[in-house]
């Protein structure tokens, strides 16, 4: 937690592997990240981390279910299993009725929930969330926090950046 510009998002980007530290070593599951090639780092991003970016990065031409399926495509999962898992995670964030809607047809809070489902669908060992409840109403924000808490109880690591408690 901290003010804008304190480096919270930068730290999250280093943990999630889009960025690299300028000094020191970063080890993820007993592997020095700096020694991994691009393909190995991509695998680590996809399999070990689930990231909810503040900017969301949702492709506009895909519907909500297809957006949630994205990491599963990269993991090489079958279409049938991808579809079932994506639908399961959209249900967890209460968007099953909007799964065939494009980004332009979703509210800001709905887009945020799609991004959260996408980040969690691969069951990553680390979930990173940059202001995951910032665009949500109180009730939905509490539901997302309950989902993240359940993941913690399953032994997953959650790292969240926020401006407020």
pLDDT tens-digit profile, the chain (165 residues): 888 888 888 888 888 887 888 888 888 888 898 888 988 888 888 888 888 876 666 667 889 999 999 989 988 899 999 999 999 999 988 899 999 999 889 887 788 888 889 988 988 888 888 888 777 788 878 887 887 788 788 888 888 887 777
Residue 80 has, within 13 A of its CA and on its CB side, a CA count of 0
CB 148 within 8 A of CB 132: yes
Question: How much is the pLDDT for 126?
Answer: 87
Question: How much is the pLDDT for 57?
Answer: 61
For tokens 């299993």, name the residue: 81
Q: Which pTM was predicted? A: 0.80
CB 141 within 8 A of CB 102: no
Q: Report the 3 state secondary structure along the chain.
A: CCCCCCCHHHHHHHHCCCCCCCCCCCEECCEEHHHCCHHHHHHHHHHHEEEECCCCCCCCCCEHHHHHHHHHHHCCCCHHHHHHHHHHHHHHCCCHHHCCCEHHHCCHHHHHHHHHHHHHCCCCCEEEEECCCCCCCHHHHHHHHHHHHHHHHCCCEEEEECCCC
Beta bridge mates, 157: 126
Extents of the domains making up the chain:
50-161
What does the block give as tokens for 89? 């995670």
CB 65 within 8 A of CB 105: no
Question: How much is the pLDDT for 74?
Answer: 86
For the beta carbon of residue 92, count every other beta carbon within 10 angstroms.
19
Instruction: Name the superfamily (CATH) of residues 50-161.
Output: P-loop containing nucleotide triphosphate hydrolases (3.40.50.300)
Q: How far is CA 69 from the centre of its chain?
A: 12
């Amino acid at each position: 937690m901290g003010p804008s510009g304190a480096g919270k998002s930068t730290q999250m980007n280093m943990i999630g592997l889009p960025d690299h530290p300028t000094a020191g070593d970063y080890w993820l599951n007993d592997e020095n990240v700096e020694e991994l090639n691009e393909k190995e780092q991509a695998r680590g991003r996809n399999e070990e981390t689930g990231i909810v970016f503040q900017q969301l990065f949702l492709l506009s031409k895909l519907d909500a279910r297809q957006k949630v399926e994205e990491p599963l495509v990269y993991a090489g999962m079958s279409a049938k299993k991808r579809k079932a898992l994506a639908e399961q995670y959209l249900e967890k964030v209460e968007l099953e009725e909007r799964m065939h809607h494009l980004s332009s047809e979703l509210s800001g809070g709905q887009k945020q929930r799609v991004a959260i489902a996408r980040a969690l669908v691969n069951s990553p060992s680390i979930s990173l969330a940059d202001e995951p409840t910032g665009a949500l109403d109180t009730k939905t924000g509490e539901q997302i926090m309950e989902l993240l808490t359940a993941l913690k109880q399953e032994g997953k690591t959650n790292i969240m950046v926020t401006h407020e408690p």
